Structure 1
Amino acid sequence: MLVAEDDRSVCEMLRLFLHEENVQAVFVHDGSEAERLFRGQHWDFVLLDWMLPGRDGLELCAEFRKISDTPIILLTAKTDEKDRIAGLESGADDYVTKPFSPLELMARVKAVMRRYKATGRPESSGHDPSEHTRIRHMELHIDTGSREVTIGGRPIANLTPKEFELLVLFASHPKKVFTREQLIETVWGFDYYGEDRTVDVHIKRLRNKIATPERQWIVTIWGVGYKLED
């Protein structure tokens, strides 16, 4: 685990608790060092403080998400809803406000890891790769084996595991409207530890990545949920 946090007292608390949980962690205290280490090797998880010197955590989160699906939790003293949404839109998997208890943080870490492991493979949405290797809807083509997505022949890159699973779910049921609760149960799992608004944020990010001049592909059914555009 990579922990980027400039508050040394928070780092010491996390160091002791992670040691008790048998979690190996490397601690850094500025954004530039966090970026160097992140790009230099593979990490299973990242705890990223928003207000880091050098480069702030929000900026780093967005950069990391462009090149990696590594689970990221943002740590911050910011509590406004707009800040939580900004954190999720940057690509964070969860958002923990300070002060926090180590027990709560580890519960969040474990929940994110369970969701990550579940959504990181095609069968997590109930699709057997041997039976559902290719999904097609209009110009949208999905290969669940290689995790390649194209629209009108244009490759769609940098989909996170949850974005990919959302798209597979919609494309497999193009006429079905999914409520937020159904999407959370199917993609995030019953043990989801967070708020419903994260669905809206992921849908927005997915739309931005797959939208074409002709259609946005995922449409909102007001008061109900979301569906794939016919």
Structure 2
Amino acid sequence: MEKAKHLLIVDDDEEIRELLTGFLTQRGFRVSVAGDGDEMRRELVRWSIDLIILDIMLPGEDGLSLCKSVREKSDVPIIMLTAVTGDSDRIVGLEVGADDYLEKPFNPRELLARMKAIFRRVSGGGADEEDEGVKVSNRLFRFGGWVLHEGKRELRSPDKFVVHLSSGEFALIVAFLEQPQKVLTRDDLINATRGVEAIAFDRSIDIQVSRLRKKLEGDCDKPKLIKTVRGQGYIFAEKVGMSPIKGRS
């Protein structure tokens, strides 16, 4: 039996914490709550958290700062909540490492749908079985000295350091590595990273690409790996080697 996903809700509104806790607990999730950044950090030390639901407007340290702090140390998925209408909080939230965002007020069912989409991305969608009990459990991608282990969701730099990726960044790099040296439109990348049910947000993919570029090569002014194709989208310019990693079922 699959272990229940453990969620952490970080919001200073007690009514929202209680509403979401009841709704998500009824659907099989374990839920912990925090009212500010200090409580959030204590819960992250205490538990192994599978996803954080993080409000931007918090007393003391705000959600954007907390998101950035978490992302520097972990790839745990983060959905941000904002009461501000418009793109500003969304853009900044994505820039500091959030995987998705919702504007308040929202329908808890929409939050649940977005959570499930993130968990599908993180799980990789399962494995393909082959003959004689051998199955392809994941893939190993190699490019320019980098190695991406799909099953472990682990990206190692040429100097062997592990680079943390959010679930959105992981889905994005896999989309590029599966189709190297081919132009991918923004719609192609939105579908690959957030699913066909995603609500298109013009700058979301551009921000994700910018974040991924910084992690891969630092200098976003003259990218060598992920290049912009004006008026079309992006192309992963490096040659990619891919090999399946097989294991016994």
TM class by smaller structure? 0.7 to 0.9
Distance in structure 2 (CA, Å) of the matches to 1:194 and 1:114: 19
Q: What is the SS of the residue equivalent to 2:72?
A: helix
Residues 116/197 of structure 1: CA separation in 2 closer, same or farther (3 Å cut) = farther
Structure 1 match to 2:173? 167
Structure 1 match to 2:217? 211
Instruction: Please give the per-residue CA displacement for 1:40-73, whole angstroms capped at 9, x wherever unaligned.
Output: 3211221111111132111111111122222211
From 74, 83, 95, the equivalent of 2:80 is: 74
- Tell me if the contact between 1:210 and 1:216 (Cα under 8 Å) persists in the aligned partners: no
Q: Unaligned stretches of 5+ in structure 2?
A: 1-6, 129-135, 239-249
Residues 142/69 of structure 1: CA separation in 2 closer, same or farther (3 Å cut) = closer
Structure 1 match to 2:182? 176
Distance in structure 2 (CA, Å) of the matches to 1:191 and 1:148: 27
Please give the TM-score of this superposition, normalised by the length of structure 1.
0.82
2:198 paired with 1:192: yes
Percent of matched pairs sharing the same residue: 37
Task: Count residues in correspondence.
Answer: 222
Structure 2 match to 1:222? 230
- Tell me if the contact between 1:31 and 1:60 (Cα under 8 Å) persists in the aligned partners: yes
Distance in structure 2 (CA, Å) of the matches to 1:115 and 1:174: 20
Q: Which amino acid aligns with 1:135?
A: R
2:142 paired with 1:135: yes
Residues 3/143 of structure 1: CA separation in 2 closer, same or farther (3 Å cut) = closer
Distance in structure 1 (CA, Å) of the matches to 2:70 and 2:78: 9
- Tell me if the contact between 2:82 and 2:89 (Cα under 8 Å) persists in the aligned partners: no
Q: What is the SS of the residue equivalent to 1:190?
A: coil
Q: Which amino acid aligns with 1:178?
A: L
Structure 2 match to 1:45? 51
Structure 1 match to 2:156? 149
For residues 50-61 of structure 1, the aligned pairs below 5 Å read 50-61=56-67
Residues 164/101 of structure 1: CA separation in 2 closer, same or farther (3 Å cut) = closer
From 115, 131, 148, the equivalent of 2:121 is: 115
Q: What is the SS of the residue equivalent to 2:163?
A: coil
Higher strand share: 2
Deviation at 1:39, TM superposition (A): 3.1
Please give the TM-score of this superposition, normalised by the length of structure 2.
0.76
Residues 188/118 of structure 1: CA separation in 2 closer, same or farther (3 Å cut) = farther
Distance in structure 2 (CA, Å) of the matches to 1:212 and 1:100: 36
Deviation at 1:194, TM superposition (A): 5.6
Moved more, 140-149 or 79-88: 140-149
Q: Unaligned stretches of 5+ in structure 1?
A: none
Q: What is the SS of the residue equivalent to 2:50?
A: coil
- Tell me if the contact between 1:111 and 1:192 (Cα under 8 Å) persists in the aligned partners: no
CA-based RMSD of the aligned residues comes to 2.8
Structure with bigger RCO (C-alpha 8 Å, 6+ apart) = 2
Deviation at 1:111, TM superposition (A): 2.4
2:14 paired with 1:8: yes
Q: What is the SS of the residue equivalent to 1:27?
A: strand
